[in-house]
A and B are shown apart, each in its own frame.
Chain A
Amino acid sequence: GAVVSQHPSRVICKSGTSVKIECRSLDFQATTMFWYRQFPKQSLMLMATSNEGSKATYEQGVEKDKFLINHASLTLSTLTVTSAHPEDSSFYICSAGTSGDEQFFGPGTRLTVL
């Protein structure tokens, strides 16, 4: 149980375009999901907390207009990178929790902006 999926697994886009990444909890309902960003050989940096039915809470330094988060249902959160630039290239990972403390991570999405 507690499986989290992400789609797509890899995406390459041109500079200036927008990219949407989906995070789904497959076998449980997640009122809260989290979005992380991970640069090569670095740690996971929390970007935002996605709350079902309400606005996301962004960490300091993360541009909310740049990284749009929508949590429309208890099993789906989306992250849209708007007007992507090469410096947005990274590994984006979501996670979701159940009733306990543990978070379950998605497989990640590797974004490359040309």
Chain B
Amino acid sequence: GENVEQHPSTLSVQEGDSAVIKCTYSDSASNYFPWYKQELGKRPQLIIDIRSNVGEKKDQRIAVTLNKTAKHFSLHITETQPEDSAVYFCAASIGDNFNKFYFGSGTKLNVKP
């Protein structure tokens, strides 16, 4: 099955700085890569996603890049704010429609004011 690895496990940045979280996946058939933000005790919330036919996607302060050849994708958060502090998970999914997500181990981001 798919194996998703995520680094770093914790990340501490100063407010206003950028944060980068990286994930790798093992199955070249994976074609959908969402990123979720999860606050303590709450449900994961989708923040951005990318499909395998695209190399980069941006939504305001958040961007995701995908390198299919190397099988890795990254989350970039610019101008970080204290409210960005949470645990972020990457995931990979194989196939189209209703397919299983395999999650990375998570990154706890702490943005210091």
Binding site for B on A (CB under 8 A): 31-32, 34, 41-46, 49, 60, 91, 93, 95, 97, 99-103, 105-108, 110
Contact = CB atoms under 8 A, between A and B. Distances in A.
Contacts of B45: 105
Contacts of A102: 34, 46, 49
Chain B: interface size category: 20 to 34
Nearest to A94: B43
A46 B43 contact: no
A110 B40 CA distance: 12
B39 to A, nearest CB: 11
Contact of A97 (B41, B98, B105, B108): B98
A106 B19 CA distance: 27
A3 to B, nearest CB: 11
A49 B97 CA distance: 13
A34 to B, nearest CB: 7
Q: Which 8 A-B pairs have the closest CB atoms?
A: A32-B98, A105-B43, A101-B32, A44-B103, A43-B103, A97-B98, A43-B105, A107-B43
Contact of A108 (B43, B46, B49): B43
A93 B104 CA distance: 16
Contacts of B103: 43-46
B97 A100 contact: yes
Contacts of A99: 97
21 contacts: A31-B98, A32-B98, A41-B106, A42-B105, A42-B106, A43-B103, A43-B104, A44-B101, A44-B103, A60-B1, A91-B41, A93-B43, A97-B98, A100-B97, A101-B34, A102-B46, A103-B34, A103-B101, A107-B42, A108-B41, A110-B41
